[in-house]
C-alpha cells in the first residue's frame, strides 16, 4: 500500500503471516509507532532508543514507521484517526503507541478503543510483575507475577447507551418494562440505560488467547474472573463458555480445578494448565491475600479494567505497567497510563511502562532474548537507584534522572548485559 503523508522506511521489511496464522518476522522489520499525546512525546522516543539497542544487541534492527493519531494527526490530517494510520498498522501487523487523549466532540468515545475496534484487537494483555528496587505499597510485591487478558470489544465498553431524559431512553424503558415483562424494574424519572453484550464468540477467542499463552509460557493456571453469581446470562455465560472451550479444544493439556482436587489431590501434573474461576469481588481480595496462587487471568472488559489496575498498584503503579492489544496475527503495544498533558515536553516522566510495553512487542516478534535484555536492563537501572522523579521521591539515596537520561542509562545496561 502507498501512503500520502507517511514515510515507509526504505531499508526495512514487512512482517507477514504464514499459512498457520503465525507471524513471519524478518530480522529488520518495519514497526509503526505513534508517539501519542501529552507525555507521549517524551516516553515514546525513550522507548524507541531502548528497543533499538536491544534489537541491535541481538543482531537485529528495527525500522520505525512514524504514524499519527490524536493531536499530531489533527495537525497533519485535520482529523483524529486517519484511515492510513489504521491501514499502516493493519498492513505491518506489529506496532507500538503512546497514550492518546480523546478531545471533546471528536466523534470518538476513545481513540484508544477506536483503534482496537477498527483493527479487531480483541485481547488486552497486561503482564504484572515486580522489578527489584521499585517501591510498592505491599510487603511482598515479588509474589505478583500475573498476566491479565481483558476482552476488548464487548461488555459495557461496547458503548451501547441511551442518555437520561431522551426519547430513545424512554423507548428502551418502555420496551424493557412492558414488552419484555420486567414491570417496574427501572426507577421513575430520567434514567440512563446501557446494554452489556457478552457473546460466546468474543468470550471464547479471548479465553483461547489466555490458555494458549499459559501453555506456551509454562504457566500453571488460567482463572476466569466474572460476576456470574449476579449476571447469570452474561458473566456466568463467559465462565461457562470458558470451561466449554477448555474441554472442546485442549484435551489433556488442560484440567479444571475440580479435576485437580478429585483426581490429583491438588498436585497438577507437569505441562498441564488448570482452568478455574473466581467471582470478581473475591478476586480483588485474593490479589492481595493469595497473590502467588494466580497466574493468568481471563476477564470480560470491565472486570479486566479493575483487576489489572489493582494488580498494577501492588507492583508500583501504572507508571511501570505495560500492556498490549492482540488480535489474529496482530499486536499494538501501549502503556496502561494516560497522557498526563501537564507534564508534556518536560523530559521528566517515567518511560518504564512504554519501554516494557515494547518488551511485549519484542516477545510477539519472537525476540525473547531481546525482550529479556530490556527487562533485565530496566531492573538493573532502577535497582541501582537511577530513576525518574516519581520513584526518586519514594527512595533514599537515588539519582534523579530526566526521561532521556533514564533511557540512556537503560541502554548502557543493555550493552553491559548483552
Active site residue 157: yes
305: annotated binding-site residue? yes
Q: Annotated binding residue at 338?
A: yes
Answer yes or no: is 393 a known binding residue.
yes
The dihedral built from the CA positions of residue 284, 298, 35 and 386, taken in this order, carries a sign that is: positive
Beta bridge pairs of residue 333? 96, 324
* 227 classed as catalytic: yes
Give yes or no for a contact between 296 and 222, defined as CB atoms under 8 angstroms apart: yes
**Residues pairing with 23 in the sheet:** 17
- Active site residue: 41, 97, 204, 227, which one? 227
Residue 116 annotated as binding site: yes
CA distances from 122 to 188, 226, 323, 326, 331 (A): 37, 18, 13, 6, 10
- Is 325 annotated as a binding-site member? no
37, 305, 376, 390: the catalytic one is 305
DSSP, collapsed to helix, strand or coil, labels residue 270 as: coil
Question: Is 126 marked within a binding site?
Answer: yes
Known catalytic membership, residue 305 = yes
CA neighbor of 382 nearest in space, from 365, 369, 361, 399: 399
Backbone angles phi, psi at 398, to 5 degrees: -85, 175
**Any known ligand binding at 112?**
yes
Q: Do the annotations mark residue 350 as ligand-binding?
A: yes
Active-site choice (35, 122, 157, 213)? 157
> Is the distance from CB of 87 to CB of 357 less than 8 angstroms?
no
Q: How far is CA 85 from CA 14, 51, 112, 327, in A?
A: 16, 22, 13, 17
337 is in an annotated binding site: yes
- Catalytic residue ranges: 157, 227, 281, 305
Annotated binding site for Mg(2+): 305
Annotated binding site: 101, 110, 112, 116, 126, 150, 305, 337-343, 350, 389, 393
Annotated binding site for D-threo-isocitrate: 110, 112, 116, 126, 150
Annotated binding site for NADP(+): 101, 337-343, 350, 389, 393
Amino acid at each position: 500500500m502507498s501512503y500520502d503523508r507517511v514515510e515507509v522506511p526504505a531499508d526495512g521489511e514487512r512482517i507477514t503471516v504464514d499459512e498457520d496464522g503465525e507471524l513471519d518476522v524478518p530480522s529488520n522489520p518495519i514497526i509503526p509507532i505513534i508517539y501519542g499525546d501529552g507525555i507521549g512525546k517524551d516516553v515514546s522516543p525513550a522507548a524507541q532508543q531502548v528497543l533499538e539497542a536491544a534489537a541491535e544487541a541481538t543482531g537485529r534492527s528495527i525500522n520505525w514507521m512514524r504514524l499519527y493519531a490524536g493531536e499530531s494527526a489533527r495537525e497533519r490530517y485535520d482529523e483524529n484517526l486517519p484511515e492510513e494510520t489504521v491501514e499502516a498498522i493493519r498492513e505491518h501487523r506489529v506496532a507500538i503507541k503512546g497514550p492518546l487523549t480523546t478531545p471533546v466532540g471528536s466523534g470518538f468515545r476513545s481513540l484508544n478503543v477506536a483503534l482496537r475496534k477498527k483493527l479487531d484487537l480483541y485481547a488486552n494483555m497486561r503482564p504484572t510483575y515486580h522489578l527489584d528496587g521499585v517501591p510498592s505499597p505491599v510487603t511482598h510485591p515479588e509474589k505478583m507475577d500475573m498476566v491479565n487478558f481483558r476482552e476488548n470489544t464487548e461488555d459495557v465498553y461496547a458503548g451501547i447507551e441511551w442518555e437520561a431524559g431522551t426519547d430513545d431512553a424512554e423507548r428502551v424503558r418502555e420496551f424493557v418494562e412492558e414488552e419484555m415483562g420486567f414491570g417496574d424494574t427501572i426507577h421513575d424519572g430520567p434514567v440512563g440505560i446501557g446494554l452489556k453484550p457478552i457473546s460466546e464468540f468474543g468470550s471464547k477467542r479471548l479465553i483461547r488467547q489466555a490458555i494458549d499463552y499459559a501453555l506456551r509460557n509454562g504457566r500453571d493456571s488460567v482463572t476466569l474472573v466474572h460476576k456470574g453469581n449476579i449476571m447469570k446470562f452474561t458473566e456466568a455465560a463467559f465462565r461457562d463458555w470458558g470451561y466449554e472451550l477448555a474441554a472442546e479444544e485442549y484435551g489433556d493439556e488442560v484440567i479444571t480445578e475440580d479435576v485437580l482436587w478429585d483426581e490429583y489431590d491438588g498436585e497438577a501434573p507437569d505441562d498441564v494448565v488448570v482452568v478455574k474461576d473466581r467471582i470478581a469481588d473475591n478476586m480483588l481480595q485474593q490479589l492481595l491475600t493469595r497473590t502467588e496462587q494466580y497466574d493468568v487471568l481471563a476477564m470480560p472488559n470491565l472486570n479486566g479494567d479493575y483487576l489489572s489496575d489493582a494488580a498494577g498498584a501492588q507492583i508500583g503503579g501504572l507508571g511501570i505497567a505495560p500492556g498490549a492489544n492482540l488480535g489474529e496475527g496482530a499486536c499494538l503495544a501501549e502503556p496502561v497510563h494516560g497522557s498526563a498533558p501537564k507534564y508534556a515536553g518536560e523530559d521528566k516522566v517515567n518511560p518504564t511502562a512504554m519501554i516494557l510495553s515494547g518488551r511485549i512487542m519484542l516477545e510477539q516478534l519472537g525476540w525473547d532474548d531481546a525482550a529479556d535484555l530490556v527487562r533485565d536492563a530496566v531492573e538493573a537501572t532502577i535497582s541501582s537507584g537511577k530513576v525518574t522523579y516519581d520513584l526518586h521521591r519514594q527512595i533514599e539515596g537515588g539519582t534523579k534522572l530526566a526521561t532521556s537520561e533514564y533511557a540512556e542509562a537503560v541502554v548502557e545496561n543493555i550493552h553491559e548485559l548483552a
